[in-house]
Homo-oligomer: A and B are copies of this chain.
Amino acid sequence: MRFELTLLGTNSAVPAYGRFPSAQVLNIQEKRYLIDCGEGAQMRMAEYGVPRSRIRQVFISHLHGDHIFGLAGFLSSQSLLGRQGPMDIFSPPGLEAPIRGLLGCGGGLSFPLRFHLVDTGRHQVIFEDKHTRVYSLPLVHRIPASGFLFREKERLRNMQPEKIKAYNIHYRDIPAIKGGADYRLPDGRLVPNEELTLPPAAPRSYAYCSDTAYSEALVPMIRGVDLLYHESTFCEDMAGHAAATGHSTARQAAAIARMAGARRLILGHYSSRYKNLSPFLEEARAVFPDAELGEDGKVFGVEWEGG
């Protein structure tokens, strides 16, 4: 029951020092979600062993080139590899025409491509499947931008097998009990649910906040998140420039993580002016000790707890 983030690119606009532009893949119980798709994302997937054909949804935060220039290549390769299943792309408006234009140069795709608009001003559910809900997270950037919160759905409670026998519970009643119902015995007595079941594993969550200026409005939306990727394009020495360009410093990323009570913070989207990343880590850890450097190829997992 994996919940695992693989970073494909952690640099900002101009690739540098072997760091590719923004792209990452989140694996939730073997469903893969692609988050942003900077140039070279498909090469990184091959390099890091990410099964590209398993990706069915792509979430694009905003339309700056370093978050979208790998999309045409990723889609085109999927087509050349014979993909049949549809691909859903969630993004702010304006992406569909140029991507279809570019893909049109080389003929059509082997599979349906569907674009879904994300309202970058609202925090709401934009997608859900069996195990997961995805929420938009309004960001503060130079152009409309949305982060994404991935949260596992609440699971049913776990029936304790020995109680089925002890109380002679019919299998038809089990779904209701797993849903939280108490159980009434033939003699009228009520067995409280807590005696019959164990609580399910806590839903795990991941928030992607890039690109954004420092924004405390994010805090209530990502409260208690297990894993937070918050952009840190600059260190504090460039705080003025960060604010002017709609970006954050490592210290600001850490402040958001602390206020939100995140369990771990991953830094990323580094400016090309920084070759050495250790100042980012030092700056963030002074505010939020559970900060880590995002780097191309790193994998961050969240354990399955309880249940």
Contacts and interface: CB of A to CB of B under 8 A. Distances in A.
Interface stretch (A62-70, A129-137, A188-196, A258-266): A62-70
Interface in A26-63: 39-40, 42-43, 46-47, 63
A39 B70 contact: yes
A65 B105 contact: yes
A71 B256 CA distance: 36
B105 A63 contact: yes
Interface stretch (A76-84, A169-177, A219-227, A283-291): A76-84
Contacts of A126: none
Contacts of A102: 65, 68-69, 98-99, 101-102
Interface string A87-100: 00000001101110
Interface stretch (A11-19, A147-155, A178-186, A298-306): A11-19
Contacts of A161: none
Contacts of A107: 143
A103 interface: yes
Copies in the complex: 2
Nearest to A69: B73
A72 interface: yes
Contacts of A99: 102
B103 A101 contact: no
Contact of A42 (B15, B81, B95): B15
Nearest to A142: B107
A107 B66 CA distance: 12
Contacts of A95: 105
A72 B141 CA distance: 21
Contact of A68 (B16, B80, B105): B105
A65 B69 contact: no
Contact of A101 (B20, B46, B97, B106): B97
A261 to B, nearest CB: 34
Contacts of A72: 65, 69
Residue of A39, A42, A66 with most chain B CB atoms under a 10 A cut-off: A39
B64 A105 contact: yes
A71 to B, nearest CB: 9
B13 A80 contact: yes
Contacts of A101: 97-98, 101-102
Given A65-B72, A98-B105, 16 more contacts: A13-B77, A14-B77, A14-B80, A16-B46, A39-B39, A39-B69, A39-B70, A40-B43, A63-B105, A64-B105, A65-B73, A65-B102, A65-B106, A98-B98, A98-B104, A99-B102
Which 7 A-B residue pairs are closest in the complex by CB-CB distance? A98-B101, A63-B105, A39-B73, A65-B76, A98-B102, A69-B73, A64-B106
15 contacts: A13-B80, A15-B46, A18-B47, A39-B42, A39-B43, A39-B70, A39-B73, A63-B106, A65-B103, A68-B105, A69-B73, A94-B105, A98-B104, A99-B102, A106-B143
